[in-house]
Structure 1
Amino acid sequence: MKEYLESFHILSTEEIEEAVAIAQPRTIKKNDFLSKEGTICTYIAFVESGILRTFYHSSSLEEITYCFSFPGTFTSSYSSFITQEKSMDNIQSLTDVSLMVIPKHEIDRLEKTSINWMKLLKVMAEQSYINLEKRIFMLQKEKAEVRYQNLLAHNPELLLEVPLNYLASYLGITQRHLSRIRKALTN
């Protein structure tokens, strides 16, 4: 987490050390949940190791995976974290996961005491928005084959750790379609 916060070149060494000191270690076993739909998210979590997926249920109760969280990234049910209303998504571990969790009240305190924290949180919110926009454009503009190839180019570890049904859901296709794409690419 320290290296990640340093990479922004916004926080002082003391501010980073304070964040690391208030972060609480947490482990989650494979297939357990960091957060569940209907609960209020009161923290952000930095992924030290492991992979998580964020998903919601469609009107037909199908699980729709829309995000994967890897080591070196923060994760949270962001809308719930910001609004303190019930979450509409679930965060589930796909592997054993090690996290550093920072409670919302600590984030709020840091933001009130330091302009640097305000700057960092703004940059992180902007990055989240840009990533969401890229994902929307990808789903609407790119063919499934291109989406799959881009995913492999940027996150090759997905093939090793993530079940195909979650990959297919993330790509907006059926598992059968994903199998056809994979077969065509290996021929």
Structure 2
Amino acid sequence: MTLTEFFKRFAIFDDREIEAFVPLFTVRHLKKGASFIREGTRCTEVAFIETGIFRSYYAKENGEEVTYCFRFPGDLLGAYSSFITGDPGLETLCALSDASLLVIQKKDLDRWVTENPKWMVFLKVVAEQQYLELENRIFQLLRETAAERYAYLLRHHPIYIQQIPLHYLASFLGITQRHLSRIRKEITF
């Protein structure tokens, strides 16, 4: 999906409006292992993922990293709470593969919001989607087994899941790598 297609799917902006603001996005390439944002820094930009896979994680006091989210091509990428509040972020967003991003600065978004009320509608829809995603994640963790959560990932992101290291998948599922290996042997599609 292209950035233009991404905006069109919301049916908020007309083609002329999309053509006007797409040039505000700049291309950024990240190598595997590079961070889009690191824990403790302020998020002042958001990106559209053209290519690549990202994981969002936080570090426990003992240094253990806990993966809580993956982002794939066609998704937006940013430390959402830091982006909204301006406070230092609690998470790191790291490329699991070489990636190509289209990045826009918060100051540019803020300007567009004051100039075009449709941006408020767009940002509201994005906030609602973030909320629904978080709620879905909570319900998955509370209601589903690790095998069901893994099967969900396989159904929705079959190609990308194969590219994510097992220890990150296990962390995301809240299980050990050994348990994940057993699950993978049992699940067939």
- TM-score normalised by structure 2 residue count: 0.95
Where do 1:76-91 residues align within 5 Å? 76-91=78-93
Q: Aligned equivalents of 1:27 and 1:90: distance in 2?
A: 17
Letter in 1 for 2:74: G
1:56 maps onto 2:71 in alignment: no
1:100 maps onto 2:98 in alignment: no
- TM-score normalised by structure 1 residue count: 0.96
**Equivalences, count:** 186
- Give the aligned partner of residue 11 of structure 1: 13
The 4+ residue runs of structure 1 with deviation greater than 4 A are none
Where do 1:26-175 residues align within 5 Å? 26-175=28-177
Are the aligned partners of 2:151 and 2:187 in contact in 1 as well (CA < 8 Å)? no
State the Cα RMSD in Å.
Answer: 1.0
Q: Aligned equivalents of 2:77 and 2:42: distance in 1?
A: 14
Q: Aligned equivalents of 1:53 and 1:162: distance in 2?
A: 9
Q: Percent identity?
A: 48
Structure 1 unmatched ranges of 5 or more: none
Letter in 2 for 1:39: T
Letter in 1 for 2:14: S
Structure 2 unmatched ranges of 5 or more: none
Q: Matched residue of 2:69: which SS? A: strand
